[in-house]
């Protein structure tokens, strides 16, 4: 079967699958209803005592209800995959897909919550659904709204993470740690160019430059230059005041204030990280980079440069977001284990320590990284267990865990 870009075979098969099953999720009871006694235990009158106990101590919801192992996958449908603002209804299949990844890799029950009218007070709506969930995974929300929503939900008592931001940043950091081991480059000496200043680009920049992170937890690379469709982002660039997140990037990166194109930024760089668009870098640009360049071309399904072209131009390590090339850099290596660890620790939030611990767990899972293998296989469920263990321990150490009843 041809799954290459432009082929519609996979799309036809996916439509048939979803039509046959009417979606990918269902709800099943954990307890039997064989007789009146069963009904009295599961529902009235017995359930009244459970509710009474929880009314006295909300934390008992973790003991007596689905809260302890349930995640809400929340979207407003404004940035779904590469399809853009397609709305809540059209987002359902993607959120269902995310839910089955949570279940398959981490044993977490996850449910899609898709809002259609995103012009309302979205943050308050999400807060109001929090009681039943042990955590909230924000998904496919357009920038800059995604930053604002996540920031506003950090103190609701359960972990909230925008996976497009932090899940991506975590797996990129894990990949970069192993790429340094393979090439001999020193992490703190790296000069990096990031193409794409949306949710993923902003979060990767923050993590690699330790912007907003505790310096005792986070290790900073030497320099980052971020590029968007207008070229490099630098202090004093016209119009930056209209986007406070790009303004933050300008203040914290590109210290030489290089004004120019992506090609200009790549001259002498050690690393290219692409979360942007197909074909934006050429072999000539790769040749202008430092020796043993590291290329993470993560645009999907067509990367910023194809791996064979990048290697032909001298790149030492190449990663993409695709499963049909070595070094797949995919969020599924991160988010199931991050939330599994957060739930296991009954975390109140996802701390800096938890994110950094997840990245190191992903990198360390590959015992002997090579140029063709810097990342674990995304189907290896042992990665989730390793990440969950590291994240749970970090949650406890950083004071984010809640004692179990």
Give residue-wise pLDDT tens across range 84-130: 899 999 999 999 999 999 999 999 999 999 998 656 688 898 999 99
Nearest to 113 by CA among 104, 103, 132: 132
Exactly one of 62, 67, 98, 365 is catalytic; which is it? 98
pLDDT of residue 394: 96
pLDDT of residue 5: 47
pLDDT over 60 (residue 2): no
Cβ-proximal residues to 228 (8 Å cutoff; 6+ apart), any chain: 196, 197, 246
**Backbone CA torsion sign across 253, 259, 265, 270:** negative
Do 134 and 68 meet the contact criterion of CB atoms below 8 Å apart?
A: yes
Architecture of domain 65-158 in CATH? 3-Layer(aba) Sandwich (3.40)
Question: Across 221-304, where does the E strand assignment appear?
Answer: 223-228, 231-232, 271-274, 294-297
pLDDT over 50 (residue 6): no
Exactly one of 12, 24, 30, 43 is catalytic; which is it? 43
Burial readout 122-144 (b: 16 or more C-beta within 10 A, e: otherwise)? bbeebbeebeebbbbbbbbbbbe
Confidence of residue 244 (pLDDT cuts 50, 70, 90): confident
Of 28-32, 68-72, 333-337, 359-363, the poorest mean pLDDT is in 28-32
Average pLDDT over residues 200-223: 94
Separation of alpha carbons 89 and 194, rounded Å? 33
pLDDT over 60 (residue 7): no
Average pLDDT over residues 158-176: 96
| Percent over 70 (pLDDT), the chain | 97
Nearest to 138 by CA among 108, 113, 168, 158: 113
Burial readout 365-381 (b: 16 or more C-beta within 10 A, e: otherwise)? bbeebebeebbbebeee
Residue 6 neighbours by CB distance under 10 Å: 7
pLDDT of residue 81: 81
Cα–Cα separations (whole angstroms), residue 276 to 281, 302, 342, 361:
11, 10, 30, 26
Domain extent listing, the chain: 65-158, 163-405
Q: Which CATH class is domain 163-405?
A: alpha beta
Helix (H) and strand (E) counts for the chain? 16, 10
Q: What is the pLDDT of residues 290-306, one digit of tens each?
A: 999 999 999 988 999 99
Of 133-142, 194-203, 241-250, 321-330, the poorest mean pLDDT is in 241-250
Per the annotation, the verdict on 365 as an active-site residue is no
pLDDT over 50 (residue 232): yes
| Percent over 90 (pLDDT), the chain | 81
pLDDT of residue 1: 37
Residue holding tokens 């406070």? Answer: 244
Do 235 and 254 meet the contact criterion of CB atoms below 8 Å apart?
A: yes
Confidence of residue 403 (pLDDT cuts 50, 70, 90): confident
Q: What is the pLDDT of residues 132-149, one digit of tens each?
A: 999 999 999 988 889 999
pLDDT of residue 242: 80
One DSSP character per residue, 159-189 reads: -EEEHHHHHHHHHHHHHHHHHHHHH---GGG
pLDDT over 60 (residue 4): no
Rounded-to-10 torsion of CA 196, 201, 202, 205: -120
- For the ranges 4-8, 142-146, 171-175, the maximum mean pLDDT occurs at 171-175
Neighbouring C-alpha atoms within 13 Å toward the C-beta of 76: 18
Nearest to 197 by CA among 239, 156, 149: 239
Domains 65-158 and 163-405 share a fold: yes
pLDDT of residue 239: 83
Q: What is the pLDDT of residues 261-300, one digit of tens each?
A: 999 999 999 999 999 999 999 999 999 999 999 999 999 8
Per the annotation, the verdict on 43 as an active-site residue is yes
Average pLDDT over residues 6-30: 85
Average pLDDT over residues 163-181: 96
pLDDT over 50 (residue 162): yes
Average pLDDT over residues 224-234: 96
């Amino acid at each position: 079967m041809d799954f290459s870009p432009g082929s519609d075979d996979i799309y036809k098969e996916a439509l048939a699958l979803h039509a046959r099953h009417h979606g990918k999720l269902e709800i099943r009871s954990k307890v039997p209803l064989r007789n009146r006694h069963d009904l009295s235990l599961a529902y009235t009158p017995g359930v009244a005592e459970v509710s009474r106990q929880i009314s006295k101590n909300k934390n008992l919801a973790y003991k007596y209800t689905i809260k302890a192992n349930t995640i809400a996958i929340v979207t407003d449908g404004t940035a779904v995959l590469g399809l853009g603002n397609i709305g809540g209804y059209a987002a359902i299949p993607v959120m269902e897909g995310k839910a089955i990844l949570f279940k398959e890799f981490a044993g977490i029950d996850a449910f899609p919550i898709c809002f259609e009218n995103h012009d309302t007070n979205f943050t308050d709506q999400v807060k109001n659904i929090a009681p039943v969930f042990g955590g909230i995974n924000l998904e496919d929300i357009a920038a800059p709204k995604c930053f604002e929503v996540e920031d506003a939900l950090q103190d609701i008592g359960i972990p909230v993470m925008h996976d497009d931001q932090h899940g991506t940043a975590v797996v990129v950091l894990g990949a970069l740690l192993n790429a340094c081991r393979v090439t001999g480059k020193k992490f703190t000496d790296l000069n990096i160019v990031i193409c794409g200043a949306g949710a993923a680009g902003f979060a990767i920049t923050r993590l690699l430059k330790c912007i907003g992170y505790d310096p005792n937890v986070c290790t900073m690379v030497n320099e980052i230059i971020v590029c968007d469709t207008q070229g490099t982002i630098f202090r004093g660039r016209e119009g930056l005041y209209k986007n406070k997140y790009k303004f933050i990037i300008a203040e914290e990166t590109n210290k030489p204030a290089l004004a120019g194109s992506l090609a200009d930024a790549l001259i002498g760089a050690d690393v290219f990280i692409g979360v942007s668009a197909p074909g934006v870098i050429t072999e000539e640009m790769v040749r202008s980079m430092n020796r043993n360049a590291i290329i993470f071309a993560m645009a999907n399904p067509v990367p910023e440069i194809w791996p064979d072209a990048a290697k032909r131009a001298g790149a030492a390590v190449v990663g993409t977001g695709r499963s049909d090339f070595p070094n797949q850099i995919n969020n599924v290596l991160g988010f199931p284990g991050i939330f599994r660890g957060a739930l296991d620790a009954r975390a109140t939030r996802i701390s800096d320590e938890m994110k950094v611990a997840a990245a190191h767990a992903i990198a360390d899972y590959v015992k002997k990284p090579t140029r063709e293998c810097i990342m674990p296989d995304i189907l290896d469920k042992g990665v989730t267990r390793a990440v969950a263990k590291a994240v749970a321990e970090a949650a406890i150490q950083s004071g984010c865990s809640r004692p179990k009843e």
